[in-house]
């Protein structure tokens, strides 16, 4: 009976930890793309410039592309579309461009350079969608990014703490159960 109480408490503790950590983890994962490819070209544009938007392999006939730096654009039947960057776009800033394929979203970055001067800061950081290459369309792939080994790259301190808490709880529950079992003479 004691083992059942300990197991119930461990399960309740794990559920509480997941309930507290899950909203933060889900918020970080929103927008992750796994089934369609998209591009913004060029990746660096000056205020008032034009970008070409493209999305492929979406089962819907329309895909929308939106950003805080241009009006929402609808891409039809897999054909590219253009968008004009607002004249008041801040030079040196990076803006997210979100593609929506039947509710599945992918995000990439568009850099704004000063008029006549290319923006040279690389668009590093976290992308919620697949990365893009200037040589053509890309479809997201699996695997880890070279250099990080896939171990702790991209994990937030909250996720690391939650994972450590869950491991510690599982180990502690196992120790308690083994000690009780040894004490019962089973």
**Of the candidates 50, 31, 18, 47, the residue with the CA atom closest to the CA atom of residue 140:** 31
Tell me which H or E stretch contains 114: none
Q: CB within 8 A of 48, min separation 6: which ones?
A: 84, 85, 86, 87, 89, 115
Helical packing angle, 157-184 and 2-29, nearest 10°: 170
Q: What letter would DSSP give residue 133? A: B
Between strands 50-56 and 37-41, the pairing is: antiparallel
Q: What is the pLDDT of residue 157?
A: 78
Q: CB within 8 A of 107, min separation 6: which ones?
A: 31, 96, 97, 98, 99, 127, 128, 129
In contact, 9 and 1? CB cutoff 8 Å: no
pLDDT tens-digit profile, the chain (186 residues): 555 555 555 555 555 554 544 443 433 444 444 478 899 999 999 999 999 999 988 888 999 999 999 999 999 988 999 999 999 999 999 999 999 998 889 899 999 986 655 444 444 333 344 434 334 454 555 444 454 444 555 667 787 888 888 999 999 988 888 888 887 766
Interatomic CA distance for residues 17 and 19, integer angstroms: 5
Could you tell me the two tokens for 171? 């180990």
In contact, 112 and 94? CB cutoff 8 Å: yes
Interatomic CA distance for residues 104 and 31, integer angstroms: 7
How do the domains of the chain map onto residue ranges? 2-30+153-184, 37-112
Vertex 109: Cα angle to 101 and 22 (nearest 5): 65
Q: What is the pLDDT of residue 159?
A: 79
Fold of 37-112: Immunoglobulin-like (2.60.40)
Residue entry with tokens 């350079």: 113
Interatomic CA distance for residues 142 and 6, integer angstroms: 39
Q: How many residues does the chain have?
A: 186
């Amino acid at each position: 009976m004691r083992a059942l109480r300990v197991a119930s408490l461990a399960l309740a503790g794990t559920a509480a930890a997941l309930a507290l950590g899950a909203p933060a983890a889900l918020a970080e994962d929103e927008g992750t793309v796994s089934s369609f490819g998209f591009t913004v070209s060029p990746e660096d544009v000056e205020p008032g410039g034009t970008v070409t938007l493209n999305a492929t392999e979406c089962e819907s006939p329309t895909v929308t592309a939106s950003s805080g730096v241009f009006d929402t654009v609808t891409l039809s039947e897999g054909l590219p579309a253009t968008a004009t960057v607002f004249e008041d776009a801040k030079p040196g800033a990076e803006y997210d461009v979100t593609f929506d394929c039947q509710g599945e979203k992918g995000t990439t970055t568009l850099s704004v350079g000063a008029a006549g001067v290319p923006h040279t800061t690389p668009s590093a950081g976290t992308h919620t969608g697949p990365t893009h290459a200037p040589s053509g369309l890309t479809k997201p792939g699996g695997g880890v990014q070279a250099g990080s080994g896939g171990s702790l790259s991209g994990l937030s301190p909250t996720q690391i703490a939650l994972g450590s808490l869950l491991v510690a709880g599982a180990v502690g529950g196992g120790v308690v159960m083994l000690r009780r079992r040894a004490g019962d003479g089973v």
